[in-house]
Structure 1
Amino acid sequence: MTKLSVNINKLATLRNSRGGNQPNLITSALDIEAFGAEGITVHPRPDERHIRYQDARDLKNVVTTEFNIEGNPVPKFIDLVLEVKPTQVTLVPDAEDAITSNAGWDTNKHKDFLVDVIKTFKEHGIRTSIFVDSDINMIKGAAKTGTDRIELYTESYAQMFSKGKGEKGIQPYADAAKMAHALGLGINAGHDLNLENIKFFKENIPHLLEVSIGHALICESIYLGLENVINMYLHRLK
């Protein structure tokens, strides 16, 4: 079964836009879990423009499903993860000023760095995942870092699907998933997955353990309602 982890960054963006505490992230996370989601994801950035570091600390005390913290493993981020000890940490090579994540790791170029960081997290009992493109060489490189899982960066698939080229767009991801599984890596996925393309992705990616969805899910919820949208994703994933 593929788990749905809901990224609540956009809810934090909405909260921060008015300077108060609406929507309340704690209440939102509890509701999202009650509606059936199997995980909560946050991606704090150094400028804390959406998720704040304190949010991660506060959520750790209430999340009862899997708690996933994403981010670039700069020293401040590493310290946060070691303090909070989430279920999973997902390492993403995004620049400080990135609007959103836009590339996976070069797992060969950054191998030594990733090996050291991943070793630190695993010594503290935290499952690790690294954000990668659907490049077989990057998948092979990921297997040499000691990571538990990879998260496939799915923007390219989503773009191809939207142009009616889903079959062509999915093939590199299916090949990458097969390779990752053969190398003993768990497989997650995320970025631009939505209600339109998630079912086809799930049906064609073997061994898919988890998807992390935020922006699209929150946008869809504006029209359809949060509880309804979460259950629509769960139906497509199962």
Structure 2
Amino acid sequence: MIKLFVNVDHVATVREARKTFEPSPLTAAILAEKAGAYGITAHLREDRRHMQDDDIKILKDQINTPLNLEMAAVDEMIQIAINTKPFQVSIVPENRQEITTEGGLNILKQEAHLIEIGNRFRELGILFSLFIDPDIDQVKGAKRVKADSIELNTGPYSEVSNSKERTQHLAQLRDAALKAHEIG
């Protein structure tokens, strides 16, 4: 069964741009819960561009649905996740110049590190997810590092303007999803 997580990051983006306390990611999360969302996603970036540490603590304490914490695979974020104990941690790549996450994690370049942090999270009962490009080798890598789930990067698909490229990107997404389902 597909479960909807609602991402409240850009509510925090508006708040930070206005340099005020509103709009509140917590208020958005509560509204999403009332509308039937299965869970809430929040990305705590290293540069704290939108979500802040307190936002994560407040969401964890106040929402009634699972919290999915998106983060980079760096020591500071790992410690925050260990202290917060969200339902799930989703590892995403970060680039300080990007406005939003632009590409998937390269699992193949950091398998040992991902295995190590995945094991730490599993010991605490935290699910471990990876944001990856729709590439069969990355899907296989996610299996090797024992990710509980993956999120496929749909950015390139959503950005193309011609139907031929759109069809190619959609086929890549389909193939990656089928491979993930096949290998578990």
SS of equivalent to 1:114: helix
The answer for the alignment partner of 1:56 in structure 2 is 56
| 2:162 corresponds to 1:163 | yes
**Moved beyond 4 Å, runs of 4+:** none
TM-score between both structures, scaled by the size of structure 2: 0.93
Instruction: Give the distance between the partners of 2:24 and 2:159, measured in 1 at CA.
Output: 33
Instruction: Give the distance between the partners of 1:63 and 1:69, measured in 2 at CA.
Output: 13
| 2:98 corresponds to 1:98 | yes
Instruction: Give the distance between the partners of 1:38 and 1:100, measured in 2 at CA.
Output: 23
Give the aligned residue type for 2:41: T
Deviations 1:175-232 (A, max 9, x none): 1111111111xxxxxxxxxxxxxxxxxxxxxxxxxxxxxxxxxxxxxxxxxxxxxxxx
SS of equivalent to 2:67: strand
SS of equivalent to 1:17: helix
- The range that moved more, 94-103 or 122-131, is 94-103
The answer for the alignment partner of 1:22 in structure 2 is 22
TM-score between both structures, scaled by the size of structure 1: 0.73
SS of equivalent to 1:3: coil
The answer for the alignment partner of 1:141 in structure 2 is 141
Does the CA-based 8 Å contact 1:71-1:77 persist in structure 2? yes
Give the aligned residue type for 2:12: A
The answer for the alignment partner of 1:73 in structure 2 is 73
The answer for the alignment partner of 2:82 in structure 1 is 82
Instruction: Give the distance between the partners of 1:131 and 1:156, measured in 2 at CA.
Output: 14
SS of equivalent to 2:179: helix
The answer for the alignment partner of 1:40 in structure 2 is 40
SS of equivalent to 1:61: helix
Instruction: Give the distance between the partners of 1:24 and 1:108, measured in 2 at CA.
Output: 37
Does the CA-based 8 Å contact 1:12-1:51 persist in structure 2? yes
Give the aligned residue type for 1:59: L
Alpha-carbon RMSD: 1.5
Does the CA-based 8 Å contact 2:30-2:63 persist in structure 1? yes
Corresponding pairs, count: 183
Instruction: Give the distance between the partners of 1:179 and 1:29, measured in 2 at CA.
Output: 33
Give the aligned residue type for 1:76: E
Kindly indicate whether structure 1 or structure 2 has the higher relative contact order, using CA contacts under 8 Å at least 6 residues apart. Answer: 1
Give the superposition deviation at 1:49: 1.6
The answer for the alignment partner of 1:119 in structure 2 is 119
Deviations 1:122-162 (A, max 9, x none): 111000101111111111111110111111011122124x4
SS of equivalent to 1:6: strand
Give the superposition deviation at 1:169: 2.4
Determine what percentage of the aligned residue pairs are the same residue.
37
Does the CA-based 8 Å contact 1:108-1:138 persist in structure 2? yes
Give the superposition deviation at 1:104: 1.4
Give the aligned residue type for 1:80: I
Instruction: Give the distance between the partners of 1:47 and 1:106, measured in 2 at CA.
Output: 21
SS of equivalent to 2:86: coil
The answer for the alignment partner of 1:132 in structure 2 is 132
Does the CA-based 8 Å contact 1:45-1:96 persist in structure 2? no
SS of equivalent to 2:128: strand
